[in-house]
Structure 1
Amino acid sequence: MSLGYGVPTFADNRSTADNPKPMTGDVFLPLPCGGEMVLRYVYVLAQGSLDDREVSLGYPFSEDEPGYKQSFISGYRRDFINGQFTPDDLPAAWRKTIKPLLPKTDASTPLKPMLYFIGKYEVTARQYAHVMSQARSPASGESSPVCQDPEGMLGRLPKVRLSRFEAERFAAVYSGWLMRNHPDLLPVSGRGQRDDGGVGFVRLPTEVEWEYAARGGQAVTRQELEGRLFPRRREGSEEDGPLGDWAVFNQVAGGNGQAARLMPVGTRQPNPIGLFDVIGNAAEMVQESFQLVHAGRRHGSYGGFIAKGGNYLEGEGTLFTGMRREYPLFAADGSEQRNETTGLRIAIGALSAPRSRYKELFEQWQKEGRLASLTDAIDDAEDPTKRLDSIIAASADPELQAELGRVNEELKRNVSLIARQREEAAGNLIQSSALVAETISNYNIRLTNLRNSQQLATDANDHASARLFAAAIRNGTSALDGAVAIYLDNLATGTRYTDAVIRAQFQRVREDLIRKPILGKSLVARATLFVSHVEHYRQQNRADPQKILKELLASASQP
């Protein structure tokens, strides 16, 4: 059975109050007093820990849209995302569950999945109570109190009415309890010693982690990731279902009379990566302080705390994945601010630079901003930026050395920006070339049908129709030749990018195309052939149009 956007489900003995909707890919951490915290994996394809992916946050309001006047709060902006863990960093049980679900990689694939983990559900009142029952024992030496569950269904409701400080305290208490009692069940960044800072810990998700996961993460196409809401597919349909099947919100305005109230976690459908209630029900705090949106970026001042995803009291028109609210840390009377509508979802973090990863990070950092990354014409050993490093190191003039150092860093920064733009352009080239190849196939099918029709008209002595078909065939042949010429131009353009860039971007494009429900498989085959053609063009410095066309049409006929 499939649930939501193609996420498989299964039934096993974990189907408890803590995991009402078990799914393939669930991973677990134990809770005090029994039970478990369920998490979902999110990954980014990257060349390592220092690499990251640019993503959109917020929403690009137009002037006639509701919300336009608050674009400085939830408007469109760019940010970057990466994970902190490789598959080898995971505890054995997590690795066994997740590794078969990740993209297959080997020595020929430059990009590897970098993972982070986020709560499948909002933290419930029961989970909160059980964790916080451990809060006194570490400091006081007292034994933990007897665990008590909230009465009835209250324990399955999201925990709300807690302050930002209490959310942080929950994460700290839970992290401490896990590290003391179950350290072997936590991921370790870099798989180093557990005391080098790489051991995973519980925290709130960052805003970009929350939003990337809420939008569908690795499970959706790049275009879908830019959407106002995550895709809400029903099995057998390509149309989005009603938001009410995925979110708890105030539907009274819609006329069905349903009262707005907080609901137990997991009563609706999951988003594409298996997260429940990211929209509606309880709003969710994130790690950072609030910053305004300014010219497509975050503003330089900091405010209160951020709540994401909207809540059960809001109407459908105000709910979208980029939505955010700002709340003060303190109420007017000086008490900690608590909202009836705001709860939390956990994430698993670690140090970004544990000692076990220093060597890897330094080697990646040294490669950043090198001119050799832009073209195969520059040998890595002869890179001018490396020679400039040597000149700076050999200089005996401190002022000259400092000035050259500033120039060198600015040069590297600009080379890195150009490299990122070229990577994006290379990915677009591969994807557009796959579409051109698909067009060539369609033109050829149309020409074949026209020729068959012309032959039938000729056999029937219908000369007028035969002449019309002949004219259509000439026009179709011209269109086909034009598309082939565009494809050949794209091949030449492809050789301007390094082989490493083409291979890395093909891997990203392939992951994106394969998620397209109708043409995905066909476009992946055509992108694969295009990359092969680019490599041949790179070696021969030429391409045979007839041979290229023959190979394109042959690939179209394969199942």
Structure 2
Amino acid sequence: MCNWPRVLVWLRALVMLALAGTVQAESAPADNPKPLPDDLSLPLPCDGELVFRYVYVLAKGTLDDREVNLGYPFSDDDPGYRQSFISGYRRDYINGQFVLDDLPADWQARIAPALPKSGADSLLKPMFYFVGKYEVTERQYALVMAQEAALAGQGEAPACAPMNDMSARLPKVKLSRLEAERFAAVYSAWLLKYHRDRLPVSGRGKAAEDGGMGFVRLPTEVEWEFAARGGQAVSRQALEARLFPRKVQGSDSDGPLGDWAVFSQVAGGTGQGARLLPIGLKNPNPLGLFDVIGNAAEMVQESFQLVHAGRRQGSYGGFVVKGGNYLEGELTLFTGMRREYPLFAADGSEQRNATTGFRVALGALSAPRSRYEELFEQWQQEGRLAGLTDEIEAAEDPTQLLDSLIASSTDPNLQARLARVNEELKRNVSLIARQREEAAGNLIQSAALVAETVNNYNIRLTNLKKDRDQARAAQDEATAKLYETAIANGRSALEGALAIYIDNLANGTRYTDAVIQAQFQRTREELNHKPVLGKSLVARATLFVRHVGQFRQQRRADPETILKELLGP
């Protein structure tokens, strides 16, 4: 027999829980429902705010960049395999436009503690860009666009109207790419008029006109995807995974995607029961970005290009939409997902989708006049053979000598031919330099692992010696002999690993000290992402770089001294 009073109590409890969740969601700040300690924000009209997350790339400067892989290398049984020409694996490059000093003082104070530790002699520095923490909401879009007429000198801005219900937190959809860009333009104009001091300035100098004033725009596709994958917050391996890491406290496994993304729960993604949800209801990605997968798909700045032979193909189409939407099925979603839409519908109107919204980024001039000197100096250093080895002095660099020959030639045809040869030479040298930089980074990681292996062999030898001594004390000579054999094998293995380590020292001197130091910075950041071995490997990589410097000066290494330092505290 059914116990109706108990059922009613149970139903009432469920209703109260649901209402409590709704009240909690509605009481959260509309513009930042899930605050994080290092959030960065810009003001919106009517006391609103638009919150950003910072992304950085360790680079030598503005002209440097980081190679990244976008998309996904589908196998023939993956759901997306037959559309590899849309979202397949491809190479691209990323860098930020701002250094720490370019940012407002309060932004600097918020993010500086979390940055990699570096000294005045560090060759690499964080280059920042900024991406919206959430998709732009209905409320935010309305607040900004209400200012358009007033900014154009057509009357006063309307009074602020309350928009506190949950619908105000829904991502803004059903707008065209041109309307998303118009939002960015109006918001930029409003910020520049009323809150100019809150914007970062690329190449910020002492004078007010120095540098490139920040402005709001759509993120580029590589900016969007690098950030969506986790950016500097994840390891290189995780950065190239199908989905960004979804860590669950107390577990080594990723959590269910449904805790991070809004998508159709019906098998096959038919869209039944799926709907757009307010921002901030799910968990953020490792960088603190919400809803980069599912919910509203997101427009980016570039026109669409096909994927061809691991790169973007040369023709340009409609606009790119990233991340998938709430109608997608779980199996079809991945971080690098992209689609192409036309700018205009069949009836000639601007294309608008009920599943497509956007988030914004901050941009600025890449080459403000205040950075001309720095950029020219970096450009001059590109493609120089002296950058590949310490054995060539800058004055004796063949590319430098070729520059002089071109400048002194009085034959215009010869000058043009030599200039083409020179540029091709520099291009190839730059390519070799990038390959050598990557090889140097791999060498440092490999040497750190070898050093860890040496230490592990030593621990095993120590334990074997204890066991041998115990066997001897028990007058068990047969067992003691077995341990002696194991000790001999272990000692041989340790000596072999030590020899490999010293060979790595010699190989390290084939790279310039600048390359070793720069790649050590990158390697240190990568190793810090490893939760178990990271700290130990960073210490061993640090020692290896010091040993390379000593080997560079002395042209030799004493195995006993090296071993003692490897096994030291």
Normalised by the shorter chain, which TM-score bucket? over 0.9
1:429 aligns with 2:439: no
2:196 partner letter = P
2:145 partner letter = M
TM-aligned CA deviation for residue 195 of structure 1: 4.8
TM-aligned CA deviation for residue 345 of structure 1: 0.5
CA–CA separation in structure 1 for the residues paired with 2:55 and 2:122: 19
User: Comparing 130-139 with 387-396, which one deviates more in the overlay?
Assistant: 130-139
1:343 partner letter = G
- Per the alignment, residue 211 of structure 1 pairs with 225
User: Comparing 390-399 with 455-464, which one deviates more in the overlay?
Assistant: 455-464
Equivalent of residue 173 in structure 1, options 172, 175, 186: 186
1:99 aligns with 2:112: yes
1:265-414 mapped onto 2 (5 Å cutoff): 265-414=279-428
1:192-211 mapped onto 2 (5 Å cutoff): 192=205, 195=209, 198-211=212-225
1:540 partner letter = Q
Quickly say closer, same or farther: Cα 1:441–1:396, change in 2 above 3 A: same
Q: Equivalent residue of 2:279, what SS?
A: coil
- Per the alignment, residue 38 of structure 1 pairs with 51
1:129/1:148 contact within 8 Å kept:
no
- Per the alignment, residue 35 of structure 2 pairs with 22
1:246 aligns with 2:260: yes
Q: Equivalent residue of 2:46, what SS?
A: coil
TM-aligned CA deviation for residue 340 of structure 1: 0.8
1:263 aligns with 2:246: no
TM-aligned CA deviation for residue 140 of structure 1: 4.4
1:38/1:119 contact within 8 Å kept:
yes
Q: Equivalent residue of 2:203, what SS?
A: helix
1:183 aligns with 2:213: no
- Per the alignment, residue 479 of structure 1 pairs with 493
Q: Equivalent residue of 2:301, what SS?
A: strand
2:274/2:326 contact within 8 Å kept:
yes
2:204/2:211 contact within 8 Å kept:
no
1:73 aligns with 2:86: yes
2:133/2:289 contact within 8 Å kept:
yes
Equivalent of residue 115 in structure 1, options 128, 139, 155: 128
TM-score by length of 2: 0.93
2:203/2:210 contact within 8 Å kept:
no
Quickly say closer, same or farther: Cα 1:97–1:15, change in 2 above 3 A: farther
CA–CA separation in structure 1 for the residues paired with 2:333 and 2:308: 22
TM-aligned CA deviation for residue 149 of structure 1: 4.7
CA–CA separation in structure 1 for the residues paired with 2:168 and 2:141: 9
Equivalent of residue 221 in structure 1, options 235, 244, 248: 235
1:149/1:155 contact within 8 Å kept:
no
User: Cα deviation per residue 1:16-61 (whole Å; 9 max; x = unaligned)?
Assistant: 2111111121111000122100001101011110010001100011
- Per the alignment, residue 551 of structure 1 pairs with 565
User: Cα deviation per residue 1:466-504 (whole Å; 9 max; x = unaligned)?
Assistant: 222222222212211111111111110000000000000
Quickly say closer, same or farther: Cα 1:151–1:87, change in 2 above 3 A: closer
Quickly say closer, same or farther: Cα 1:422–1:486, change in 2 above 3 A: same
1:161 partner letter = K
Q: Equivalent residue of 1:93, what SS?
A: helix
User: Cα deviation per residue 1:166-219 (whole Å; 9 max; x = unaligned)?
Assistant: 000000000000001110100011114555660000000000000000011111
Unaligned 5+ runs, structure 2: 1-26
- What is the count of residue pairs matched by the alignment? 541
User: Cα deviation per residue 1:343-399 (whole Å; 9 max; x = unaligned)?
Assistant: 001000001111111111111101111111000001122212111111100001000
Q: Equivalent residue of 2:126, what SS?
A: strand
TM-aligned CA deviation for residue 314 of structure 1: 0.6
- Per the alignment, residue 463 of structure 1 pairs with 477
Q: Equivalent residue of 2:454, what SS?
A: helix
Q: Equivalent residue of 2:262, what SS?
A: coil
1:125 aligns with 2:164: no
CA–CA separation in structure 2 for the residues paired with 1:226 and 1:199: 33
1:452 aligns with 2:485: no
- Per the alignment, residue 156 of structure 1 pairs with 169
TM-aligned CA deviation for residue 100 of structure 1: 2.1
- Per the alignment, residue 492 of structure 1 pairs with 506
TM-aligned CA deviation for residue 532 of structure 1: 0.7
CA–CA separation in structure 2 for the residues paired with 1:151 and 1:425: 55
TM-aligned CA deviation for residue 152 of structure 1: 2.2
User: Cα deviation per residue 1:391-442 (whole Å; 9 max; x = unaligned)?
Assistant: 1000010000110011011111111000000000000000011011111111
Unaligned 5+ runs, structure 1: 1-13
Q: Equivalent residue of 1:211, what SS?
A: helix
Larger-Rg structure: 2
User: Comparing 219-228 with 73-82, which one deviates more in the overlay?
Assistant: 219-228
1:133/1:147 contact within 8 Å kept:
no
1:426/1:501 contact within 8 Å kept:
yes
Q: Equivalent residue of 2:47, what SS?
A: coil
1:126/1:149 contact within 8 Å kept:
no
CA–CA separation in structure 1 for the residues paired with 2:540 and 2:153: 65
TM-aligned CA deviation for residue 261 of structure 1: 1.2
TM-aligned CA deviation for residue 136 of structure 1: 1.5
1:418 aligns with 2:429: no
TM-aligned CA deviation for residue 65 of structure 1: 1.9
Equivalent of residue 523 in structure 1, options 525, 537, 541: 537
2:513 partner letter = D
Q: Equivalent residue of 1:441, what SS?
A: helix
CA–CA separation in structure 2 for the residues paired with 1:21 and 1:381: 56
Q: Equivalent residue of 2:45, what SS?
A: coil
1:131/1:170 contact within 8 Å kept:
yes
1:279/1:309 contact within 8 Å kept:
yes
CA–CA separation in structure 2 for the residues paired with 1:313 and 1:469: 64
1:129/1:149 contact within 8 Å kept:
no
1:470 partner letter = E
Q: Equivalent residue of 1:253, what SS?
A: coil
- Per the alignment, residue 158 of structure 2 pairs with 145
CA–CA separation in structure 2 for the residues paired with 1:315 and 1:450: 56
2:306/2:312 contact within 8 Å kept:
yes
* Percent of paired sites with the same residue: 74
TM-aligned CA deviation for residue 456 of structure 1: 1.1
TM-aligned CA deviation for residue 235 of structure 1: 2.2
TM-aligned CA deviation for residue 244 of structure 1: 0.9
Equivalent of residue 535 in structure 1, options 549, 552, 566: 549
